[in-house]
Structure formats: C-alpha cells, structure tokens
Amino acid sequence: MNRVQITIVTYNWPPRNAIGTHRPYSWAKYWSELGAQVKILTAKKYNFDAPLDLILPELPGIEVHEIPYMRRFSPAASTFRVPALLSLARRFKSSISQNIGFNVDPRQRWFKAAQPIALHLSHDSDIVVSTFGPPASHLIACEMKRVNPELRWVADYRDLWSIRHNSNLPLRKQQQAQETERRSVGKYADVLTTVSEELASQLNELFNRSTEVITNGFDISEQELRQNLSYRKKENGLPIRIVYTGMIHRNHQDPRPLLEALVSMRENKLIGPDDITVDFYGARIDWAKELAQQPRFSPFIRTMGHVPREEALVAQKDANLLLLLESGASEAKGVLTGKVFEYISSGTPVLSVGSALNSAIDKLLTQTGCGVCVQDDISVIQEVVSDVIENGTPKFFKPHIGEFMKYSRKHQAQKMFEVLFYKDSMPGQGQSER
C-alpha cells in the first residue's frame, strides 16, 4: 500500500521560537508515525522572526523545504540584521498599519519565492495542509490546488485572517483582505479547521460552510502531567511570584487590571513592597517595559527578557500564578492559543485577565479546573491573590486529569489526521458527509 503524501505549508517551524511552531511540528511528528510521508514547505527565518533558538528533536523521514525570500544585501535585509533598526522598523510598521492602512510585512515575499517548489510538490502530494498565518501560507496552498485540482487542500486557522480581532488595518483594507480570503480559501479549500468552536462559528459565517475544530495542545505524557501537578507548591505565605511568558500585543493584552489590584492591596497595607512580583518573559514585551517606568507599577514588574524555552517552562512551574492576557472584545471570544495549553500543563494555577466569561479560554480553564477568568475585575483579582497568600493553592485549582488529556498534541494530531480523510466537502459549498 502506498503511503499517503502530505505537504504542510507553514511559516512557523524550528528554529523560530513561537508558540505557533508546535502545531505543525506535532502534525508532522504524529502523522509520520501513522504511516504518512510528510513534507514541510516553510520559509528561511530572518532576524525579524526572532527569537530563533527553538531546538526540537529532528523528525526522521521528514523532508523540509526552507525557502529564502529576501535578497542578502537588500536594504530591508540589512535593516533587520541590526537590532536597534529592527526595533525601530517594528514600531514604524505598527504605526503606518494603524494610521495609513498599509500593511508592511516582508513575509509577503515568501509567496512568490515559494512558487517553484510549491508547484513541484503539488504533483507529488495527495494532501496539502496550510496553517495560518501569514496569509502567504494559504495563498501558496491555493496555488498548489489550482495547479492540481485532485490535490486535497485543508486550510487551518490558528488565528483568523480578515476578521481577526487585533487587526490594525482600516475597514477598507480589511474588506480587501476578506475578498482575497474568499477567492482563495473560500473557493478552493476542501476542508477548514480551526482551534475553537467560537472561531469555527465565525468561519462558518464567513464562508457559509462547516469548519472542524482541532484545538492546540501540549506535548507531554500523562505521567509528566501528573508529575507537574505533584510538583505544585502548596505552602502559603509571601513572597508571591506571578509569571507571564510570551509576547504582549499592546491594546489587546492588558496587564493593568492586575497591576492596579496590586497597587490597591499595597495602599491598603495588605502586602508589602517586595511581597509580590509580576515577571514578564519574552523578546517582545515593550509594553511591560513601559509600564515598569510608571512609579505606581514599578515595584511589582520585573522584565526578564527572552530566555531559552526550557528556562521559560521552569519559570512557569516555579510560579505561584501564571498570568494569561487576552482581549475582552467579542471578536476575541474564540481565541485559544497554544500558550494556554502550555500553561495548563505546567501544573501552576492560571489567572486569566481580559478574556470574557464564557469565552473559549474561560470554558477551557473551567473544564480542566486549572484556572479562573476574572475579566478586568480588580476586586476579583484581589480575592484570587489573597487566596494564594492565605492557602498557597487557590480554591479554584482542582485539575481534572481526564479532561487534560483530551488536549494532548498527540490526540489532536490523530483527530486532525482523521479529518484529512473522512470529510468530503466541495470547495466553497460546505456540504459534507462522514
């Protein structure tokens, strides 16, 4: 029997140290174990993709095509090699995207550069799976489908494209992006997948077709999970260490409700000057650094910068609370990033600030018993912090191992593998039979 040939089109791939790297990596790992021949079509990584220090085990038999898309001595490439200029370029990009509506993204060049190998792979593959973003991943897969109509295309959304909640683009540009999305994914994709029921509902409405839910997850065994939970510190008292790992999107992920709660507790003599710290780990935490300059918040904030992944995981395990930040906007109700699952598998209670009640994050934390969603309610945050001080482990922290294991990367990869075959949907029509 011939092995099924699968090409995964993904920008995120090692060594890029991004939470989005683990989703396609786990697919390649477990689909190969299930007997598939997997090829990866990705992009060469540049300084603006940093941090670039993620080391994951090499996957035997996996063919990786890494496509360079920037000329070595181009002005853009030279800019991105200088850290100070790179930081300035990022701020400039954000400013013109928000104020002018022009999206400057060098990764758009990947689409054109990948065409030769993509067209070759289109004839050597049975299935192509593209995972968003950037948009180029779906556009590359679309071209592969156009060249070979017999190719089965599964379009995966870790985040939404034209209807995402944290877009800085004006309405006109969002509408243009939506038209591009409909003409590519809506017209040619055979199957749609995403990470939560809420995002699936938004995609169903956009494309008038059904979407399968394949969540993110964690890639540790049940034994390791139990060890993490047993490692959990239970002693009460001070000091308390609250940890955040990852990037912070200004205006969409706001730590100020937590900081205001701590300021109030200090003013009311409930905590002392060095009793609680909020430690931010990550390469892109500029807003936390700015907040740390404010005298009211500076006693609590420590910016730890970027550290290797293993060190970040240890910091998560050693913390008293893990801080999860997300937007409370209705459009963000379905956001369920891989970071959430990394947190819940650490064995440390999770404090979610910003996310709405009954959001995908709130449902997951409640279902697994490992966290609480407080929105931006300062009084509730104070209650949680006081609970940790008094009891060590907060009352809400009652992990359900059985619920956890539904979200292992292995389980979700196997579920996705089944979706590749059982769902028979005509592109753009949304009709399916199992």
pLDDT band for position 1 (cuts 50, 70, 90): low
What's the mean pLDDT in 220-240?
82
Cα-to-chain-centroid distance, residue 269: 38
Q: What angle do CA 135, 138, 142 make, to 5 degrees?
A: 135
Mind giving me the DSSP string for 312-371? Answer: HHHHHHH-SEEEEE---SGGGTT---HHHHHHHTTTS-EEEESPPTTSHHHHHHHHHTSE
Q: What is the pLDDT of residue 13?
A: 98
| 360 CB-side CA count, 13 A | 25
Mind giving me the DSSP string for 111-139? Answer: HHHTHHHHHHHHHH-SEEEEEESSHHHHH
Q: Are 360 and 196 in contact (CB under 8 A)?
A: yes
Q: What is the pLDDT of residue 230?
A: 79
pLDDT tens digits for 107-130?
899 999 999 999 999 999 999 999
pLDDT band for position 102 (cuts 50, 70, 90): very low
Q: Indicate whether 433 pLDDT > 50.
A: no
Q: Are 236 and 389 in contact (CB under 8 A)?
A: yes
End-to-end CA gap in the chain: 23
Return the CA Rg of the chain: 22
More confident residue, 232 or 135: 135
pLDDT tens digits for 196-218?
999 999 999 999 999 999 999 99
Q: Are 249 and 166 in contact (CB under 8 A)?
A: yes
Q: What is the pLDDT of residue 375?
A: 95
Closest CA to 396 of 411, 381, 415, 379: 381
pLDDT tens digits for 368-378?
999 999 999 99
Residue 260, token pair as written in the block: 């205001």
- Helix, strand, coil percent content, the chain, rounded in steps of 5: 45, 15, 40
pTM score = 0.85
Q: 189 vs 143, 146, 174, 366, 422, CA distance in Å? A: 11, 10, 21, 34, 15
Q: What is the pLDDT of residue 15?
A: 96
Q: Indicate whether 335 pLDDT > 60.
A: yes
Q: Which residue has the tokens 């095509």?
A: 65
What is the length of the chain? 434
Q: Indicate whether 431 pLDDT > 60.
A: no
Distance CA 423, CA 404 (A): 26
Which domains are present in the chain? 5-217+408-422 (3.40.50.2000), 222-405 (3.40.50.2000)
Lowest mean pLDDT among 70-79, 218-227, 425-434: 425-434
Q: Indicate whether 86 pLDDT > 60.
A: no
Q: Indicate whether 70 pLDDT > 60.
A: yes
pLDDT tens digits for 304-332?
999 999 999 999 999 999 999 999 988 88
Q: Are 316 and 348 in contact (CB under 8 A)?
A: yes
Q: Are 195 and 216 in contact (CB under 8 A)?
A: yes
Q: Indicate whether 75 pLDDT > 60.
A: no
Distance CA 364, CA 116 (A): 42
Name the percent of the chain lying above pLDDT 90.
74
Q: What's the burial of 249, exposed, middle or buried (CB within 10 Å: 0-12/13-18/19+)? A: middle
pLDDT tens digits for 391-426?
999 999 999 988 888 899 999 999 999 999 865 554
Mean pLDDT of the chain: 89
Q: What is the pLDDT of residue 74?
A: 54
Q: Indicate whether 346 pLDDT > 80.
A: yes
Lowest mean pLDDT among 73-82, 201-210, 334-343, 411-420: 73-82
Sign of CA dihedral 157, 162, 163, 166: positive
Q: What is the pLDDT of residue 295?
A: 96
